[in-house]
Structure 1
Amino acid sequence: MISSRMYLYVRSRQLEGSYPGDPTLGTFCQTNMRVLRGWGVPEESEWPYDTRIWPPEEPEGMDTAAKKHRICAYQRVRTLGECKLALARQCPVQLSMRIVPEDWRNPPENRIPMPANESSLTANHAICVVGYDERDHLIIQNSWGEKWGDQGYAYLPQRYFERYHTEAWIIPSDARSLPPLSSEGTFSRAWGFPDCLGEGLPFVGIELYDGPKDECVGWAFLVKRQGYADIEEFFIRPSFRGRGFGTALAELVKKRPQFEDCPLRLWIGHVDRNNVASATMQATAKRLGLSINPSRRNWASYVGM
């Protein structure tokens, strides 16, 4: 299936609060993943990509069509080693980086150079990593059409990922479709997939789900890293906030299936950096028994420990 880029872009902009605004604005990769998980995505033929008229006229029934194609989970990629491991397991990596715009417009020999200095990194850009070669380069696919690079592809130094990536995500191959759902009431469930990037333990998903409305209310994802039960995602859809679902999800996370003996650690990505001081975020951290502080990782703004 070819997914509707227009639906994903519009819903991501709406979720970030930047819609309609400037039609050239980008979105966070994590927001895209949240849309794919909570809303899904219709087919490209149902809502083709076209920004010549902005804001676009949305066809009827898009949210219903999108529900047929919801993903079950997404997982954070933190290191170059994890990136290469994901690629070896046939999982493309959605990557956002700090860039020097001039270096990307027409890269010589389709190779992105390392920045001359960090002060020239004036923009962020998202691409898809699809492979790597034996010359310490990642093979990337850009979104600027086939006239850019080598028919839309180019080579990125692996050091670029290590130094300047701001977020990276995969959709695990075992998590591309949802398990069967009940249609009775609002309920919670937890499940596990193999952690294709980590320590052999499951990648755990916890969800609150509204059966009668067929709506994903909220979800959290946990993995084991460095002796911690790392919360890679904790999200309640905006339309369900203020109704106690955040408290319910936090209580489920505290039980941390599979990782009962590990302390919790919450990573807060750049998409949520402006919400850290909010009453909702602080209340969530308190329920989880965590204190939020700035992160030293380039792929997270804050960490709760």
Structure 2
Amino acid sequence: MSPVKNQSIYNSCVGFAIAAALEIVPDAAGHVQDESERFLWYNAKTRDGSSNPDDNRGTYIHIGIAIAQQLGSCWEGHCPYTSPLTRPTADAYATATRMKVTAAYRLTGNSVDHYKAMLSIGWPVITGFDIFGTGAEQDYLMGEYTRRTGIMKMPPEPVRPRTAGHAVVFVGYDDNSRLFKFKNSWGPTGDRGYYYMPYDYVKYTRDAWVLWGQNIDLPVITNGVTATVVGAAGDTGAENVKISAGIQPLDLLTMQAQLQRKRLRKKSLFG
């Protein structure tokens, strides 16, 4: 699975969740890619009704999905997270036009069964969840036990007012422990960057999506043609490629089906 990343002090979890979802299925199929969280986050902020996209603030998952469909995404090397509040370059926008999400599905409900249905057939699910209270009231998520093990607790009763939200990607579930596994964006905390949400917490989730396809701007490997190409991280190297091949559709449905056939006994593709 693609590496766990760290959003640091920035409220950019929507960009991280969408980028992670775009990376997970191809990576599991052997197509390693590194998409730009900054590009998705910055452009979502330009359309969410707030005044300044340069501000360090959160945004909405559905707007981030719309950006991925309408403007596209791009490689991290074209829009690195080194300056998260800075507008992407013209080069990043040009690349993104060739890397648009071609199919996205919004779940009709946010129940345990809805999430399990998608995960059981091999689809990671982007979703957001509410965070309640302040300070020590958030120990169920931010406390030492959860930061060490990744296992969230339920918020104490009575539940405090909602004070924040966080976007993540569900990648697995376990009926015995009644936990969903999700890829987080807080670096290596938790279980090597992964956390676990109780089934009962699902009532506090919202706006869940599955991404089914994306165009990918990659050269096609051929024999006897050597050229210098720019990799996902901005590095260059001599490769046997046919540069004129241009955009390739990334058929996530086909990749997922191939992976699922290999792992029929698993409860979820990435669990």
| Alignment TM-score, normalising by the size of structure 1 | 0.52
Q: Give matches, 1:219-258, under 5 Å.
A: none
Give the Cα separation in 1 of the matches to 2:74 and 2:150: 33
Using the alignment, how far apart are the partners of 1:96 and 1:58 within structure 2? 25
Whether contact under 8 Å (1:106, 1:149) holds in the other structure is no
Asked if the contact 1:128–1:142 (Cα under 8 Å) also holds between the matched residues in 2, the reply is yes
The match for 2:142 is 105
Q: CA deviation at 1:151?
A: 1.5
Work out which structure has the larger RCO, using CA pairs closer than 8 Å and 6 or more positions apart in sequence: 2
> Distance between the aligned counterparts of 1:36 and 1:165, measured in 2?
22
The gaps in structure 2 that reach 5 residues or longer are 1-32, 133-137, 217-252, 254-271
Distance between the aligned counterparts of 1:143 and 1:86, measured in 2? 21
Aligned position for 2:97 = 67
1:49 aligns with 2:81: yes
Kept after mapping to 2: 8 A contact 1:129/1:141: yes
Q: After the TM superposition, which residues 273-292 of structure 1 pair with which residues of structure 2 at under 5 Å, given as runs?
A: none
Cα 1:75–1:107 change in 2 (3 A) is farther
SS state of the match for residue 9, structure 1? helix
Q: Which moved more, 1:78-87 or 1:29-38?
A: 78-87
Count of residues paired in the alignment: 173
User: Which ranges of 4 or more aligned residues in structure 1 deviate by more than 4 Å?
Assistant: none
CA displacement at 1:176 relative to structure 2:
3.3
Query: How does 1:263-278 map onto structure 2 within 5 Å?
Result: none
Match of 2:179 in 1: 137
CA distance in 2, matches of 1:88, 1:14: 35
Identical-pair percentage? 26
Specify the alignment match of 1:211 in structure 2. Answer: none
**Equivalent position to 2:208, from 165, 168, 175:** 168
How far the C-alpha of 1:177 sits from its partner, in A, is 4.2
Q: Distance in 1 between matches of 2:79 and 2:118?
A: 30
Answer 1 or 2: which has greater helix percent: 2
Q: How far 1:121 sits from its partner (Å)?
A: 3.3
Amino acid at match of 2:140: D
> Deviations along 1:186-236, whole A, 9 cap, x unmatched?
xxxxxxx9xxxxxxxxxxxxxxxxxxxxxxxxxxxxxxxxxxxxxxxxxxx
Counterpart of 1:114 (choices 154, 157, 162) is 154
Extract unaligned runs of 5+ from structure 1: 179-192, 194-305
- State the Cα distance separating 1:169 from its structure 2 match: 0.7
For 2:88, give the aligned amino acid.
Answer: E
Rounded Cα–Cα distance in structure 2 between residues aligned with 1:35 and 1:58: 13
TM-score w.r.t. the length of structure 2 is 0.59
Post-superposition Cα deviations, 1:115-147, rounded to whole Å, max 9, x if no partner, equal 11332432211111111123100001111111x
